[in-house]
Chains A and B, each alone.
Chain A
Amino acid sequence: GAVVSQHPSWVICKSGTSVKIECRSLDFQATTMFWYRQFPKQSLMLMATSNEGSKATYEQGVEKDKFLINHASLTLSTLTVTSAHPEDSSFYICSAENRAGGTEAFFGQGTRLTVV
């Protein structure tokens, strides 16, 4: 099956620093990737849609300058949490849509971000 690799799986950073999370489709091309955020014991909330070669589309209430998304190739999207604060601590998960089609979303393993 299609594999999406997300890195790092966990990260601890200091307040005010920036953290980059990578999402890679390993065996397929992903024109579109999605970034979700999940608080403990809660559901996933879509943050933004990452489009290869164009600007990301952010959901209402998500600060685009805070969460920078870059989708430079058909297999890689990155999410950078800038000037991180403790309230940014969360579980971030990406998913990818296979360019070749299909209805299944393939999810990365997630990244646990802790800001201290």
Chain B
Amino acid sequence: SQQGEEDPQALSIQEGENATMNCSYKTSINNLQWYRQNSGRGLVHLILIRSNEREKHSGRLRVTLDTSKKSSSLLITASRAADTASYFCATGWGAQKLVFGQGTRLTINP
């Protein structure tokens, strides 16, 4: 079953702008992960945030987690054309049985 929802379902922005995607989940979590999927390809792990963390950075990525609202956000700063992909949040216990959100299709226009 799907853990939650992501919004927006689709996002189109200009290169250089920031992109923000949100994810909500339903159950208690140990951690939350974000993945990127290029069209027709496998998933690439971007970042993991633990339930006791509120914010985490990795390069141009910034992830926040609000366990009281059961929500997370992924911010990509200074977007590039290569960032065009689908982004999924996933909850689970480490690598175990990940439950994915619906995903956000991000398009970066040059």
Contact = CB atoms under 8 A, between A and B. Distances in A.
A43 B2 contact: yes
B11 interface: no
Contacts of A43: 2, 88, 100-103
B-side interface size class = 20 to 34
B97 A103 contact: no
A105 B95 contact: yes
Nearest to B30: A103
B42 A105 contact: no
Contact of B98 (A32, A102, A105, A110): A105
Contacts of B48: 103-104
Q: Is the interface of A mostly helix, strand, loop or mixed?
A: strand
B31 interface: yes
Interface string B66-110: 000000000000000000000010000011111111110100000
B106 to A, nearest CB: 13
A10 B22 CA distance: 32
- Interface residue tally of chain A, by bracket? 20 to 34
Contacts of A32: 95-96
A46 B97 contact: yes
A112 interface: yes
Contact of A41 (B41, B95, B105): B105
Report, nearest first, the 10 A-B pairs whose CB atoms are least far apart: A105-B95, A97-B95, A103-B94, A107-B43, A107-B42, A109-B42, A43-B100, A44-B100, A110-B42, A43-B102
Interface of A: 4, 6, 32, 34, 41-46, 49, 91, 93, 95-98, 102-110, 112
30 contacts: A32-B95, A32-B96, A34-B95, A34-B96, A42-B102, A43-B2, A43-B88, A43-B100, A44-B88, A44-B98, A44-B100, A45-B2, A45-B100, A46-B97, A49-B97, A91-B40, A98-B95, A102-B94, A103-B95, A104-B33, A104-B48, A104-B94, A104-B95, A106-B45, A106-B95, A107-B42, A107-B45, A109-B41, A110-B41, A110-B42
